[in-house]
A and B are shown apart, each in its own frame.
Chain A
Amino acid sequence: MEPARIELTAVPFFPQDRYQCGPAALATVLAATGVAVTPDELVPQVYLPGRRGSLQAELVGSARRHDRLPYILASTTDALLREVRAGYPVLVLQNFGFRSAPIWHFAVVVGFDPAHRQYILRSGTKARETLAAGRFEATWRRADSWAMIALTPPQLPADTDSQRYLEAVSGLEAAGRAQPAEMAYRAGLSRWPDDPRAWLGLGNIAWSQGHWREARTAYRELLRHEPDNAAARNNLALALLREGCRELAEEEIGRALASAGSGRFALAVADSAAEIRASPDVGPKDPAACEDH
């Protein structure tokens, strides 16, 4: 059976100025999620005067600065169209030149017409551009089939790859967008209950805000499912130390050292152990905090 025709007609359009398809395409997907933004306002965030263009990574970064979750899709047309069908306009990179002499262009896929085998896009100065499937796919493939959507946490993509999703959220967290990242991790837990990566993220966000108790709860939740997780054990020990529960911190860092072994977190855990040992035992700020262990 032929798939149904889809077109996201409500997606806005911003005609691009010279060289500025990056800001225009990004404004399109951001505005579709309700961000009040114009391409001109995005120019200082993504445009590179010296390259007369915008880099993919910077579109990703700018989306984060607007508290959206940039989500890079798997490089297949199935993955692309699945998100369009879920209602997400897809920002794509196209190459209208050759691999050796590329002509890069950002556009936004808003629909697909199976009867005519056409993609429907917001592109350049065209509010509604139709490209034959073969043509679009060729230009897209020559740009390594790069595609991105902007999710508004707690929105989840149609795609169900937990690794891809949680890594995307960790990027939002790393960019310092604690609130949307927290919502996104919680959304992740609703789809993948008990996922350790989501719990680690929630713990680390609580930590970054100085909410030691909350951080501890998240790390403990993770460790209940994955007792040998050195990262969570390390962070739990440090959260305990911040609360003045030095004995417990020493106990936990001992376990973290054992879990870390000679793996990649060995040095980080050793640093934590040294910090815990070197800290003066001033006693807990709130003795009850160390009791519910």
Chain B
Amino acid sequence: MRALMPRTLVAVTMVAFVSSSILPAVAQAGIISTASTFGFDTQEARSANLAKVQAQLARAEVQKSLAAYGVTPEQVQARVAALTDREIGSLAQRIDQAPAGADGGILAVIGIVFVVLLILDYIGVIHIFTHRR
């Protein structure tokens, strides 16, 4: 309980700060969104408001990451807007390790194998390439 006090204080400050700066209209902030009712334990002490603030911060973080990975500024907005707070939350925590389906790895492996074979062939360990002399 004692540990909770400063966190609550920080949360309240953040709510005040964020709702006055990022959220478009304070008056519209009252509605409880459908998405926020999923994925929580009803007994969870953390309030929905705090979760909302954390989601705002995580969103900014993910936007920064996408931009750093080379996404154009106009796409960053739209891409992040298509994700739920939960999705943003888990991306913010581990976007660097999140799987990025690429297939680049397979090409890299093939490339390395090819170079190794070429070297072995060149120094005479194996003979698989046709040499013209």
Which residues of A does B touch, CB under 8 Å? 16, 18-19, 21-22, 25, 44-46, 48-58, 60-62, 64-65, 93, 95-97, 102-106, 124, 143, 163, 166-167, 170-171, 173-176, 197, 200-201, 204, 207, 230-231, 234-235, 238, 263-268, 271-272, 275
Contact = CB atoms under 8 A, between A and B. Distances in A.
Contacts of A234: 30-32
Contacts, number: 175
B105 A96 contact: yes
A55 B100 contact: yes
B35 A264 contact: no
User: B37, B39, B42, B47 — which one has the most chain A CB atoms within 10 A of its CB?
Assistant: B37
Nearest to B72: A44
Interface of B: 15, 27, 29-35, 37-40, 42-51, 66, 68-72, 75, 78-79, 81-85, 87, 90-91, 95, 98-107, 109
Contacts of A200: 34, 37
A268 to B, nearest CB: 5
Given A61-B79, A65-B78, A174-B84, A268 B103 contact: no
A274 to B, nearest CB: 9
Nearest to B8: A267
A50 B34 contact: no
A93 B101 contact: yes
Contacts of A55: 91, 95, 98-100
Contacts of A231: 32, 37
Nearest to A263: B42
Nearest to B109: A103
Given A93-B101, A268-B30, A170 B35 contact: yes
Given A18-B104, A104-B99, A204 B31 contact: yes
Interface of A is mostly: helix
Contacts of B47: 264-268
Nearest to A196: B37
Contacts of A176: 81
Contact of B106 (A50, A64, A105, A201): A105
A60 B69 contact: no
A51 B30 contact: no
Contacts of A175: 81-84
Contacts of A124: 103
B34 A105 contact: no
A265 B82 contact: no
12 contacts: A48-B100, A49-B70, A50-B69, A53-B99, A56-B98, A57-B98, A65-B78, A170-B34, A173-B35, A204-B33, A238-B30, A267-B50
B76 to A, nearest CB: 11
Contacts of A204: 31, 33-34
A267 B30 CA distance: 10
A207 B28 CA distance: 10
